[in-house]
Every structure is written in C-alpha cells, then in structure tokens.
Structure 1
Amino acid sequence: MLGSTSSDYPPVGLGSSGTLSHVYIQHPPLRCNIPETKGLYYDDGNKLLLSPTADQILSWKIAPTMQFDPPESDSINEGPILSMRCSLNRKFIGIKRSNHEIQFKNRETGEMFSRRCKPDSESILGFFWTDCPTCDLILVKTSGLDLLRYEHELNTFRLVESKRFSVSWYVYTHESRMILLASGMQCTVFYGFQFSSGGIIRLPKFEMTMTKAETNQKPVLTEDDVHIVTMYGRIYCLQLDRVGMLLYLYRFYRDAVVQQGSLPVYSGKIAVSVVDNVLLIHQVDAKVVILYDIFLDSLAPISAPLPLLLRSSSNSRRQKILQEDNTISAYGGTIYGDSWTFLVPDLICDVDNGLLWRIYLDLEAIAASSSDMPLVLEFLQRRKSEPTKIKQLCLAILRTIIVEKRPVSLVARAIDVLIGSYAHSVKMGNGLPGDKGLQRSPKSTGSRSYEEPGSQMNMQRHMEQESSGKEEHRQFIGTDASKTHADVSTSVAIGALKLAVSENVADLNLETVGTNSGRFLEKSFPTEREEIQVESSNTASGKSPLQSEELNNGPSTSASSQQGTQSPSVAISPEDMHNSVFAVVEEEMGGDPAYLVAIIVEFLRSVSKRNSKVHPNIYVMIIQLLAFNNRYPEIGMFLVNKILEPSKEVALQLLESGRQNLATHKLGVDMLRQLSLHHDYVTTLLQDGYYLEALRYAHKHKVITVRSSLFLEAALATREAQNLAAVLRFFSDFLPGFKETSDCSRYQRILVEMS
C-alpha cells in the first residue's frame, strides 16, 4: 500500500533506464500528426482513430494491433466537428456538427442527411451506434434517449422509442455496451442501460456516494470522475470521490447496482486503464500507477506504486538501455502530460503530438517483485495477452524455486496452481493441441493396478479432503519471505507414503499422513459451482450479473469456436512439467535426489487429485533417482502404495536399475507379466536363464515373436545335452516347419557332438 500522499512524491518525468516499473508504453507509437488535421477522435466501437481535415476524415485501424500503414480517407463537407463515430458495419459516418445537429454520410452512395433536435428545449450530448435488434443508433440528449433505426427507402433514421428524463452528462463504452446517464443537482443520480445484441437491459436507478467538504456541502460529480471498465467479463463502474480521496467500485447486476468496496487514491486527478483484466489506476499528479487484480472481489494491490515507463521495441536488453535515452529525447513530451487522454481500455492518446500509445504489463518485473511464488503463478495463469511468454515464465519460476530448494510445502502450492490451471483449461475445452484423452482410462494397459507378488497389501490411493474454507486473497508485495524459509521440515504425502524432508533431506520414512497443500486451486480456478457463486455473489437475493458482450458473445469468440482452432494457452500440462522442469532441474541439482523425489511425489499427488494422466517418464525418473541413491526398498514401497503406475517404460527401468539389486529386477519382471507384455516377459526370462519357464509361458500364451534360436542358445549355455534335446524336441513337435530350418540342423549337430 502507499505510505504517503501525492504531495510527498517528487516530480517524475520520463523514467530512466534504471527505473523499475510494472507498466510501460512502447516506442514507436502510432503517429497521426499529419499536417492540416484538426484533432483526434477515438471510435471504440470499430477500434478506429479518426482525424479530420478541412474536407476529409483520416482513419487508422488500431485493433487487434496498431497498423502503421497509411490511413484510409473519406471526403466530408466543411464545418465544425465536435465528435464523430462510424457505424458498426462501417457504412455510415456520424459527425456531431453542433449541440443541435448530427450529420450522417452514407459511405457507399455518398449521400448526406442530418438529424436535429429542438434548440429551445434540448441539446445533443452525444451519440453511439449499437447492434441492438430494435435500433441502430442511440441519440443522447439532455431530455433523455432517442432510439433510432435506419430506413433504407427513406435514407433517414426513424424514431423507434424515446426514454425521457433529465440528463446532465453521460459515459458509455462499446466494450460493455452500457451507458450511464447522470442527473440531479450534484449529478449523483444515475440511470443505466445496456444495449446489446440480446436486447435492452434497464438498470434500476441508483445514487453514487459523495463526501461532503467543509467548504462545499454539495459537491458536483463530473464526467471525468466516472469510468466504466470490464474485467473477467464483468462490468464495473469506478467513481472518484475527490473530497474523500477514494475510488468507489460498483458491480452491475440486472436488478441491482452493488457497491463492492473502495480503493484509496493519492492524486487529485486519476485515469483508469484495463490491461489483460488487470486494473490500472494512474495517479496522474504523483505520476505513478497502481495495479489491481479484481478477481474474487479482492481489492488488494498486486504491486507497489511505480512510474509508467517509455521503452523501445528492441529485443536486446543492452540495446534497450542504449536506445532509451534517444527514445525519451525523440518523444519530446511528458509522461502524464496535460495533453494525454486515456482511452478505454488500454490506450493513451497524446493529442498535442498526434501520438497513440498502447499500455503493456511487464510480467517479468511483477513476478520479480513478489516473494510468494504460488500467488505470482496464480496471477500469471489468469493472463492471456502473451500465452507463450507467460508459459515460459511460469516454467522458469517453478524451476528456480526447485533448484533453490525452497520448502516442499511452497513448491507443492506452486505445482497445485499450475496443475489446477491446466485441469480447468481442459475442462473448459481450452486444452493444448493433442491433449485429448487426458483423463485416466481404467481399461488402459499401462494403468492396470499392480500388486507386488506375494504381498498381501492392496492399499488404495489416499485422496485428500479439501478444506471447505477459502483463504483470503493475499497481497503480492510485503509477503514475509522469512516465514516461508523458516519451514525447514515439511511432510508431504501421497497414498500411505510420507517423505520427511528436512533441511539436509536426510531420510525417507514410511508412515500414513495427510497434507493440506493445494487449497489455493479453488481460489484461482473455481469449479463450475464455485464460479457461479463468484459471478453472482448475491444470487440468494436474485441478482444476476451483467457481463461484457465482447467477452462472451463477441464475433471473434464465435468464429474461433466454429473453426475449431485452438490459440496458444498459458496452461502447463504434466508433460510440459516433465520436459521443461523436472528433466532440467535433475541435471542442475545433482547430489542427494531425495528433495527432487519429494517434489515429484507432490506433483503426482496434485495430478492424481484431478484425475489427469501422467507420462511414464515421470515414474522412470523417480526410479532412477532412488536407484542412484541406493534406495531400492523405497522403490518397492512406491509400487505397493500405487505411487508408481505400471507401464512398459516403468518395467524396463526396473529391469535396468535391478542390475544392482535382485529384488528390484524381480519387480520389473513381475510387472511385465502383470501387464501381459508377453514378448518382453519371455525375452527377459531368457536373458535371466529361465529358458524352460520362458518356453512354457510362450507355449501357453502363443508367443511366436521370439526367435527359436534364443531358446536354443539359452539351453546350450547350460552345457547339458538333455536340456538342449528337450528344447529341440519341443520346437520339432509344436513349431511347424522347424525341422527344415538351418537352426534345427545346426543344433542337431551340436547335440550329437555333446553326446
């Protein structure tokens, strides 16, 4: 939290190369400073930046990315321009010429027509286009709203409906499809409407909170004090109370508007942005920005207040530092200057210099500023802007805390976050390409239950009971890292196995035990039932939350689902964990592998809890680590307690590691038989010298893939003529055509010589 007011901050200009920041704008910006242009206007419905000249309008497309191509142009008549917007189908341009007239141009035919109001009783505050089924254009006047529909035959707009009430000013965003109309002496009484493709929703009238000053008992709310934002598909309203130095947060429901807390402000002037569902509160006077992740209605900042930086687009860090001074001098403006206009949701327009910037989050800096890595991973897994980069950052964080040998409980929480995110992504149909069939298949050959031969133990996997209580969302900055590192002895469990990991990771003991790790999953990635509770915290009262149409019913979403394409995901699969985490840290750590085994066991517990599939290479790695440290008895206990699932890869690794331990080798042989891997089982018996048992097994199970010469060689190795004769007789009786083979002739001669 901030510890001082805006007056305590020193004047800050452009950030230097050594300045830490979590938010930045990137050079070069979109340049719109063409001579003879008269101002800049933003059309959020079409994501266009418009700039008029005396006889034409220039437009730049800025979504999904800024286009640095030459602008498009449309000819217009000369005259004053107060605002302008294009229709959603781009067929019309609307230009507000005065407070009583809006002029429209049909871009296809070039025809012009106007819409006027009564100059003596009302004035036009603004207008916007809509995809509502009942109207095409909403005209906002001091007397209320006019809903208009275009009549093609008459080439004009027909009045469909009027909603009458006194209006002082309004705010509207196309992202939310919502308009708020301010009325009353203090402009604190609001009417709200949402005009979406599903129809019109009218909100109940509500009043915003204002603190009374000693010198002004009736402060007036201005248009600059109210902001509509959309985060995680939910629509919020932010209202600045300049006297109380608070920013109130309102959540919209169909039949209610609920105040959900307040945020402190440290500047008399603020601006609001939303980048990848992260709320940015710009303290303009203090020239810093504070970040909030409004998830599960948490109002704690995720980072300390830091300045907004201007960065170059160079990929090299050294080049960035060298070019930053040149970038700052080339800009020639001031960060948070008077000419800056913040556009919803993540744009900044420098009107004086004709520049447009996009705001970015520095996720690496945010991650580096916190000591609570599980919470950092939760935050990163909710981001969608750069999925590949975020995924690699999450993997790097997990590798780091494992190599640093952080407490097992902390690493277990971090793994739970990543596996929970992946399970949630698969459940919602956003899994990685090729991730079909991630659920365990009880009939799968490689997943059969396994019992150690001769053992009476058939223990079921222990499933943890999740705590029903929710942990409060904690702040990233200020976490006491000493408490985390003080946990030098942590117990983790899966099934009936307990790994006691002390500071020097001295021993592995067996004991039944339960754990409480993993409860952060429900907070970060709620189930369907919990998600409903989150989305409608007042369901019991009948309140249904309003949601952003762009995030739920937008054309891009539907197009993607129709095509069946999958965009890159931040989710980290169990296979990614093996290839990019465990396989890498195994080489870096070396030495006593007990710590890494404990971490992998926690990983298996997390995966098992979500009924996901684990690649056999994970189990192979556990066997290798235990065998390297001569902990062969633990390998047997891992099998008994169902920690290692049977598969061909596991069986072959048991055989490999069993060269130094007969019991482990026998476990591998028995697993091959348990899995009905007939060829491998017979081959292993022959290699071990049990040729008669191999012969009986091959005959019983009709194994014809093993060459007869292998059996004959094994019998010959005993140097007993009767053994070789028995094998020859078997193949002569049961293998058609064997008597005509070269093997038969050869071993017949050898048998004669031995006799």
Structure 2
Amino acid sequence: QTSGAEPARCVRMANEHYLELKENPVQFEHASSVNNVFFDEANKQVFAVRSGGATGVVVKGPDDKSSVAFRMDDKGEVKCIKFSIGNKILAVQRTSKSVDFINFIPDYPHMEFTQECKTKNANVLGFCWTSWNEIVFITDQGVEFYQVFPDKRSLKLQKSQNINVNWYQYCPETAVLLLSTTVQGNVLQPLAFRNGTISKMSKFEIELPVIPKPAKLSLSERDVAIATIYGQLYVMYLKHHSRTPNSPGAEVVLYHLPREGPCKKSHVLKLNTTGKFALNIVDNLVVVHHQSSQTSLIFDIKLKEPDCAVNTHQPVLPARSIHPYRVSLSGPVVVPSQPPVPCQLYSSSWSVFQPDIIISASEGYLWYLQVKLAPMVHLLEDKGKLMDFLLRRRDCKLVILSVCSQILGGHEEAGLPVVATVFDKLNQVYKDYLEADQSYTAAMESGPSRGSTAQKRPVRTQAVIDQSDMYTHVLSAFTERKVSVTCCGPVPHTPPTLTLTPQDASYKFIIAVLMEYIRSLNQNQITVQHYLYELVIKTLVQHNLFYMLHQFLQYHVLSDSKPLACLLLSLESTYPPAHQLSLDMLKRLSTANDEIVEVLLSKQQVLGALRFIRSVGTFHGAVTFSSSGSGGHDNVSARKFLDAARQTGDQMLFYTVFRSFQQRNQRLRGNPAFNPGEHCEEHVVHFQQLFGEQALMKPSTV
C-alpha cells in the first residue's frame, strides 16, 4: 500500500514512530543448547547460565556496576536463579522441592546451603526476594515466608499461608504478590510484604469472556500483568473474545488494587483487533504490542470522563510500530567488517517484562522501551487533549514549548480560544506547584506540629512551565517574528467604515495572545512578572499602537512596577506622553519617590522635582528623603538638587534652587548656611560668583 505514496508522506510516516528502544541495551550471551537465560524482575538482571553454572554464570544488570561473573557446581537443570537485593545472597531452584543458597557477602562462607519447602507434597513454583535477607517460596499449596541467616547458613520460617495456587505474579516495586486460585484460575489473591510481615489484601475475581464447562484453568499467566500507573497499583488483564465475525476486539481490563479496601474494575482499553498481545508501562502509559500487525498502541488512563465507575478508553494515537533498530551480527563483540543489521521487531522470541523491558533471548539483548513525544504532536489534533497528555509525561518541557510556538504560528484570531485553553492548562499546573511550594515553605517555617507527618518538598517536574520559560522560548520570538502580508491569508469581509489590513489583524493577534497569557496568570492568581508587561508595551510601541498603550495604562490592565515605569521613561523620545505616564505610575507606587526625583533631575526638571517632593512630604519649602526614600529632614540631599540645577546652565534656576534650600535650612536650624556634611561649599562659592555675597541669606532673615 505504501508503494504509491508520495515521498513527503513516506518521510512523515518515518517520523511518526512514537516508541523506540533505548540506545546501549544490556547485551548478554544469547540462549542456546548450552546456555540458559533467566531474568530477575526485581533487580532487572539477566542471568546467562552455561552448563548448569559449571562453565560460568554471567549476571548483567542495568549498569556495569551490577555485573557479576562466577561458577557454581552443576547439580542439575536450573529452573530459577535470582540475587537478593544488593547481590548479597544467590538463590537457585533446581528441583520442585527445594531452593539452594550461596553467600556473596565478603568474609562469609561461600558454600551452598539448602531449604526444602515445609508443606508436604507441595511443589515449588518459584520464589521472590522481598528484601536482602527475606524470601518467599510460592508452592502449588500456598506461600512460605522465610528469613535467611547467611552467617548461620540457615533459614527461619516466618509465616505461611495455605491456598491452592495455579501461578503467580510479583510486583517488586510494591512488594505485592498476586496468586491465581480456584480451578478456573480467575480468583486472584494479592499478598503484601512489608517489614517482615505478610498481609492479605482483598481478593477479587477476573471476569472471563466465557465460563468453561466443565471448569478448567481459563486464566493464563501470560494474560495478566501487575504494574504501577500514576502511583497506583493495577492488575492488567488481556481479555480475548471468541473469534467470530461479530465479536468485539480484545480488551485490556484494569483492576485497581488499593492497599486497603476492595479491588475494583476501573478501566477498559479497547484494542479493536484480535491476536497476540504484550503489555508494557512506559511513562505511566499503557503500551500494547500487537504481534501480527507489528504495531503498538498507547493508552493514557488519565484521559477519561469524570465520575465514571468504569472508564472505556480508545488508543490515544493511531497504531505505529516501534522505531527501527539495528543490531550487530557479532553480538557483544564489535567486528568492524560487519555493519549492523535491522533487528526483527515484534519477534516471537521477544519476552516483555514490567514496566518497560523487552528481552530478545535469541539475540542476546535487553532493551528499555521509551516514548518519543515530538512525533505525537502532529498525530493528536485536539490541542487541549494534546496538552493534557503532554503535561503528564516525564520529559515534556521542550515539546510543550514547541507546541506553544506552533499554535502561535498562525494569525487567525479564531485560534485564540485554543491558545487560551493551552495557557489555562499550563498555568493550572504552574499554580498547583506554586501553592504546594508555598505550603511546604510555610510548614518548614512554623516547624513540625505534633502528630503531623513530615512534609516533602514538592518536586518541580518538567510540566511546570513558568513565566520565564514562556517569555524566553515562546512569547519573545512570537512578538519579534517578521509578519508579511502574504502569510496572513485573505482579509475577511469588513464593513466599509472599518479598514482592516492583514498587518492590523496580525498585530492584534499578537497583542491578544500576550494579554490572554496575562489573563490566564491572573485567573490562576499568579503574580505577573514585569517583563511580560514590558513585552506588551514594546510590542504596542513597535506597531505604533499608542492609543491602546494609553488605554492599558489608564485602566490598569498593566500592573504598576518600577521596571515598567523606567521602560515608559525610555520611550519618551518615541511617545512623549510616556514620560508623564511613567511619573504617574511611580507616584501610584508610593515607594518610588527616590526614583521619581532621580528621573526628574536626570531630565533637568529640577523645579518639577522640587514640586513633586513638596506634594509627598514636608520640606518647609522642599521634602526631605532619607536613604530609604522616607521623610527625614536631616538627610536631605541639597547637593543633588544644586548639582542638577548648575548643570542646566540656567543661572536663575540655580538661584531659585539655592534660595529654596537656604530657606529650608533657616526653618530647620535657624540658620540658612549649609552644614559641612552636606558638601555644598563649591555651590556656595558659585552662587557668590554669580550674584555676590550680599545675595546670600543672613541668619536674621526670615
């Protein structure tokens, strides 16, 4: 079907692989007649056991530090082999009646010791380590929980449970063991292990598509997986329907398994096809691999209808295959003469483990599956739904910022509701983080209260897109974009009284987007940073929209701040009224008196500065400021005003300012002379040179 496709379509399809196998897989000796391969889900370790261990056991984990190599006596076929946590004790099952142990703790005896299961006539199905020295045997008649004493080379039975078991699944992340019971196998009994104890959780029944008669084992271990999704434990059941023309496709049914309370069916994932499937969990997404079509589907259980007892989900995106992967023919040994060859994806030899592991025993590779977010952007058209989806992903920040830039790529104002929706979703997450952080800070400052649990500092995930992120990566570039007439499309029909050019429409869209982001911040009670207001002002000035700037300031759409006032001052040459707008803003701030005086003096408006300080303080002719800007007669800076007046070259202005400060001195101290600490000597000399000594006020002068 793809042979006649356009080249552009082929390239796009190649870029639509949203799943891939991570680079640098764990490589091991592939399975063969002399080499058996085992996987330990708890430690994520692959065991390559040659000749029962006599010619070597190589253990490889997620990193090089966890790799171990050793030999052990060949005492028969190995059925199961696992290290305890930390590689301290090795457990090996060779028979259905017992498990052998070998110490790997330094200075402990390296000899094997054996533990037989206690239950008569029981067969050991397998075992799981729950801690570095605690192990549970699962038999067909129940479970036996032991503590291992490596120094004594012995085990002690802590607790046992009698129950008929068909098969089991273990979730090492939560230390929960799932047992299949009853003849049909569809009644599941979860057991939780914690601090050396076993506790029974509520058992539950899996709904089978067909009830067999007579009763027989109908629920297979390969159709069930247990995993954590969004911090909650779920049992996932792959439900196959009978292959008839009108039968529905297969489903994945999720049962929520809480620590306390009943287990409930909560989600149904519609696969819309039949065949062989395998399940992974990647970044809290349920990934369903379909072997015959060699594609995978992803589901996000958070994309659901509110207040539904059981939520039915369709795939988030169209089915796609895992990104092609190449492997070396020589396996772990790199031979330059042999280039890598394509790996057979969805091979029948693949084994899938939770949460995100795929193993090809025949090729000797262990991969971690990962999600690629960038290709998903073009596959999910609903931008609100896309944003909900992306905000829950681990490495989402750059992709989210890219999406924001893309949705601002057009100039149609009809797109504003979409922009508003995206901004609101971003700022809701931003607000939640700020509130959590403020709550944590307040709790730390008040100290721990009696009976309260220790509060953890909230983790700032990549989903927290703050104002700095939006300003730097999205809005600045958006406002600086070159807008041409041709890119805006046809101008809509407008009444004769209104002249609307494409440029006007694009400028209005830019301003509308900026104001929409500010509106969203305000709606979420987030303090808007001054640089966003500055961006609005610069954009308005750039497009000569001064009337709009005046309105925004007049109606306080843009919040007052010192940086904003300074920006307005800098625009005076372009827009003269900006000077007065700036002074009005500084005056409204009431804590910016120093800045206003400095601004006026820098503009050589010395009398204006004197009038201003009279209006906000008592000077007896001029206000006084301390270094902090509050009233304080003793700290008035007469020299600053005299410097400014002298720099103007206006002799009468200098005279007026000089006499004003002499009058202040007279009223403060009964003497018009300046104190030595005011450093005004040069100005006194200058005054005398201009107007004569007789022009100086005398102490007796009122």
So what's the TM-score if we normalise by structure 1?
0.71
Partner-residue secondary structure (3-state), 1:46: coil
Q: Residue type of the partner of 1:122? A: A
Match of 1:290 among 297, 304, 316: 297
Structure-2 change in CA distance of 1:580 and 1:160 (3 Å): same
- 1:83 maps to what in 2? 80
Which residue of the other structure, out of 169, 172, 187, is the alignment partner of 1:171?
A: 169
Whole-Å Cα distance in 2 between the matches of residues 735 and 42 of structure 1? 90
Distance change in 2, residues 1:586/1:145 (3 Å) = same
Residue aligning to 1:392: 398
Native 8 Å contact 2:28 2:364 kept in 1: yes
Contact kept, 8 Å, 1:678 with 1:701, in 2: the verdict is no
1:708 corresponds to which residue? Answer: 641
What is the match of residue 317 of structure 2?
303
Which structure has the larger Rg? 2
Which residue is 1:648 aligned to? 562
State the one-letter code of the partner of 1:94.
A
Deviation at 1:277, TM superposition (A): 0.8
Conservation of the 8 A alpha-carbon contact between 2:141 and 2:163: yes
Q: What is the percentage of aligned positions where both structures have the same residue?
A: 21
Instruction: Tell me, yes or no, if structure 1 residue 354 matches structure 2 residue 360.
Output: no
Matched, 1:32 2:28: yes
1:219-274: CA deviations, max 9, x gaps?
71111111112111111111122235222221113221111242233232111001
1:71 maps to what in 2?
67
- 2:474 maps to which residue? 581
- Contact 2:183-2:215 at 8 Å conserved across structures: no
SS in 1 for 2:81: strand
Decide whether the 8 Å contact of 2:282 with 2:369 is kept in 1.
yes
* Contact 1:172–1:228, Cα closer than 8 Å, also in 2: yes
Contact 1:340 1:350 in 2 (8 A): yes
Aligned counterparts of 2:45 and 2:408: Cα–Cα separation in 1: 47
Q: Which one scores higher on RCO, CA 8 angstroms, separation ≥ 6?
A: 1
| 1:454 aligned partner | none
- Alignment CA distance shift 1:139-1:90 (3 Å): same
Q: 2:240 maps to which residue?
A: 242
- The equivalent residue for 1:59 is 59
Q: C-alpha distance in 2, partners of 1:261/1:728?
A: 81
Distance 2:578 2:13 in 1: 59
- What's 1:736 paired with? 675
Question: Does 700-709 or 108-117 show the bigger shift?
Answer: 700-709
User: In the aligned structure 1, how far is the partner of 2:401 from the partner of 2:113?
Assistant: 59
Question: CA distance change for structure 1 residues 143 and 215 in 2, over 3 Å: closer, same or farther?
Answer: closer
CA deviation profile, 1:395-430 (whole Å, cap 9, x unmatched): 121122123236111111111122222222333449
Quick one: distance in 2 between partners of 1:372 and 1:275? 22
Q: Hey, what's the Cα distance between the residues in 2 that align with 1:700 and 1:271?
A: 80
Structure 1 residue 731 displacement after superposition = 8.2
Confirm or deny: 8 A CA contact 1:26 1:312 kept in the other structure: no
Once the two structures are TM-superposed, the CA of residue 710 in structure 1 deviates from its matched residue by 3.9
Residue 365 of structure 1 pairs with residue 375 of structure 2: yes
Q: Secondary structure at the match of 2:473?
A: helix
Q: CA deviation at 1:361?
A: 0.8
The answer to whether structure 1 residue 49 and structure 2 residue 59 are counterparts is: no
Distance change (3 Å), C-alpha of 1:725 and 1:219: closer
The match for 2:139 is 141
CA-CA distance at 1:160 after TM superposition: 1.8
Would the alpha carbon gap of residues 425 and 42 (structure 1) be closer, same or farther in structure 2, given more than 3 Å must change? farther
**Contact 1:725 1:751 survives alignment (8 Å):** no
CA drift of 1:292 comes to 0.6
Partner of 1:202: 200
**CA RMSD of the aligned region, Å?**
3.7
Q: Does 1:749 align with 2:663?
A: no
Give the distance between the partners of 1:575 and 1:276, measured in 2 at CA. Answer: 26
Deviation string 1:3-40 (CA, Å, 9 cap, x unpaired) is: xxxxxxxxxxxx99936311111455321027987222
Query: Partner of 1:701: helix, strand, or coil?
Result: coil
Tell me the equivalent position of 1:98: 95
* Equivalent pair of 1:691/1:715 in contact (CA under 8 Å): no
Residues 1:726 and 2:666 are matched in the alignment: no
Q: Is the 8 A contact 1:430 1:569 kept in 2?
A: no
| Residue 436 to residue 639, structure 1, CA distance change in 2 (3 Å) | farther
Q: Are the structure 2 counterparts of residues 114 and 734 from structure 1 closer, same or farther at C-alpha, using a change threshold of 3 Å?
A: farther
Counterpart check, 1:414 vs 2:422: yes
Q: 1:338 to 1:191 in 2, by over 3 A?
A: same
**Which runs of structure 2 are paired with 1:93-242 in the superposition (5 Å)?**
93-108=90-105, 109-117=109-117, 121-131=121-131, 136-151=134-149, 154-197=152-195, 200-212=198-210, 220-242=218-240
Q: Look up the equivalent residue of 1:726 and give its one-letter code.
A: R
Paired position in structure 2 for 1:657: 571
**Residues 1:683 and 2:598 are matched in the alignment:** yes
Q: Kindly tell me the number of residue pairs found equivalent between the two proteins.
A: 593
* Residues 598-641 of structure 1: per-residue CA shift (max 9 Å, x gap): 22222122222333232211111222222334433433443354
**CA distance change for structure 1 residues 421 and 161 in 2, over 3 Å: closer, same or farther?**
same
Q: Tell me the amino acid that sits aligned with residue 713 of structure 1.
A: R
Instruction: Answer whether contact 1:626 1:632 (CA < 8 A) is retained.
Output: yes
The match for 2:548 is 634
| TM-score w.r.t. length of structure 2 | 0.76
Determine the structure 2 residue equivalent to 1:601: 515
Tell me the residue number matched to 1:276.
283
- For 1:198 and 1:601, how far apart are their aligned partners in 2? 59
Write the distance in 1 (CA, Å) between the matches of 2:343 and 2:325: 14
CA gap 1:718/1:633 in 2 versus in 1, 3 angstroms: farther
Residues 168-202 of structure 1, C-alpha deviations (whole Å, 9 max, x = no match) = 11111212322221122221122111223495442
Shift of 1:589: 4.7
